[in-house]
Chains A and B, each alone.
Chain A
């Protein structure tokens, strides 16, 4: 199978959907001429023109509001939010309007909108351009949240998001745009709410979202050297969350580590750990461990920044403790 970058995969997904459905359009800062700072959207304006690939001023609440209105009146906008950190600017349009309109209109209105943005630290972008804020929107009923973990997921989840009649926020890891993965030429969609079991083991379950999937896979490689076999699972979407697959694995291995790059406190890891505790408690042989980013603003100093995110070695260390049956009082 051919391999393409995550950036190309997103580009393909959007292009395919724009060809398929003329109500789909792109809007955001630097989406047309520049093709975004990450060059994800290069070439789209040439094919679809400036009426469907719309450059905006630096005014996030404004173009987000335009998109919500457009979605309510029949279009299927894809909003490009240059950095996930700018979510704070569009909170009212997204959480108060887009997320609630279908409910508050008694089902008469729908908001088929995609907000594509990114997450991820260690790019030396400092505290205001390095956050992973998926927990913020996952908390709001009415929003779906997808977290692609490779080029394959980036394409399949984007196409599903565009076709969904609900507002969807999709987070791409900004450090993975040049990462290649096998992606079929033929069309495919990845359903929401269906986790991907990447490898099967018997001793421990490692659940990783977005790029933390790769962290978990590397940790699983290291654990294999110890003779410890791990389930590695990518939830793919955190709203909806595939409880069933996660719980089945937890019941099988009795030990779980959840890894997500958002801040550890009040995060995605806490939600998943809590569901496992509640629904698989009597199968657990150890506490479910959360591993998120440190609860600090992401440092600009490279030496410090690298310390704030979960690493394969960190996952390995915790996994060894769980399997050894050490007394865990997780932080």
Chain B
């Protein structure tokens, strides 16, 4: 089975990478860990190492090509004889979830036996509709008084987004912010079913699936139709899921392909962090109890955890 070399995601918001240089040529032997290509992102140029030993075959991108994250750019075959089988004209296979660089053990994880045919399930895509233009990039709408009070109290008004409040923000909205800190709840969820499901999805689809579960839990728990979700990347950019007029009730932070486990923003807001472990997901909900009382927060996280644990039921 040849090993597919894909364009890695080297930054949270990176959509593609430019191949600056191939450090190996087709037919070259490589050892695991050998520098393979130099990739330039919008931030840096990075050497990408081979994740498997063997021979380089089927180069599908040339130097200077801008390749979408997840696209196959070459394969590593185990014997010289197989090189010819992977001629460089091959059609790139569908994008897949980025191979996590420092997580080789995951590759060994077989798909859960209990999981039915993943392909069928993934077909009716659970991804929510295209998110509206993210308001997060625009100016925060707030009254002059709210702006003054925020300044006096050291509150970043953008942190009011993701708390179920509609803009423009007013003075009373600042009361939703507990300036003193936040509460944290954590859930550990068996991850086999979700991991198997995500193996067939892109990273973006994975995030949208987590966001959809969070929105679903929020809607059913609080009997509302208004449950917009913001997806915050570690570089600070925010995209939103939901109708344009829907208030953002929760911010999702996907830490699956990092070593990080929790991000709880100062200034409150309801934030859900998703981190992947070998066989489980750690879900962390941080919240201000003034805005979301503990019983509600606990029920919310439990509901989300149940959905992550048994994603197929949610999708069917």
Contacts and interface: CB of A to CB of B under 8 A. Distances in A.
B167 A283 contact: no
Contacts of B143: 254, 284-286
B171 A285 contact: yes
B172 to A, nearest CB: 8
A327 interface: yes
* Highest count of chain A CB atoms <10 Å: which of B144, B147, B171, B173: B144
A325 B145 contact: no
Interface in B221-263: none
A266 interface: no
B168 A325 contact: yes
Contact of A285 (B141, B166, B167, B170): B170
B24 interface: no
Given A254-B171, A327-B168, A282 B145 contact: yes
B170 A286 contact: yes
B144 A281 contact: yes
Contacts of A282: 144-145, 147-148
A282 B142 CA distance: 11
Contacts of A327: 141, 167-168
Contacts of A281: 144
A283 B144 contact: yes
Nearest to B173: A325
A173 B148 CA distance: 41
A284 B166 CA distance: 18
A283 B146 CA distance: 8
Chain A interface extent, by class:
under 10
A282 B145 CA distance: 5
Interface string A274-290: 00000001111110000
A282 B152 CA distance: 12
Contacts of B170: 285-286, 325
Interface in B137-179: 141, 143-148, 166-168, 170-173
A282 B146 CA distance: 8
Contacts of B141: 327
Interface in A252-309: 254, 281-286
Nearest to B147: A282
Contacts of B148: 282-283
Contacts of B168: 325, 327
A283 B172 CA distance: 13
Contacts of B146: 285
A284 B145 contact: yes
Nearest to B165: A325
B120 to A, nearest CB: 45
* Highest count of chain A CB atoms <10 Å: which of B143, B166, B172: B143
Contacts of B173: 325
B131 to A, nearest CB: 21
Contacts of B147: 282
A286 B170 CA distance: 8
A327 B143 CA distance: 10
Interface string A314-331: 000000000001010000
Nearest to B148: A282
A1 B18 CA distance: 89
A270 to B, nearest CB: 19
Nearest to B169: A325
A284 B170 CA distance: 9
Interface in B195-233: none
Contacts of A254: 143, 145, 171
B103 to A, nearest CB: 46
The 5 closest A-B pairs by CB, nearest first: A282-B148, A285-B145, A285-B143, A325-B170, A285-B171
Interface of A: 254, 281-286, 325, 327
19 contacts: A254-B145, A254-B171, A282-B144, A282-B145, A282-B147, A282-B148, A283-B145, A283-B148, A284-B143, A284-B144, A285-B143, A285-B145, A285-B170, A286-B170, A325-B166, A325-B168, A325-B170, A325-B173, A327-B168
Interface of B: 141, 143-148, 166-168, 170-173
Given A285-B171, A325-B166, A325-B173, 15 more contacts: A282-B144, A282-B145, A282-B147, A283-B144, A283-B145, A283-B148, A284-B143, A284-B144, A284-B145, A285-B143, A285-B145, A286-B143, A286-B170, A325-B170, A327-B167
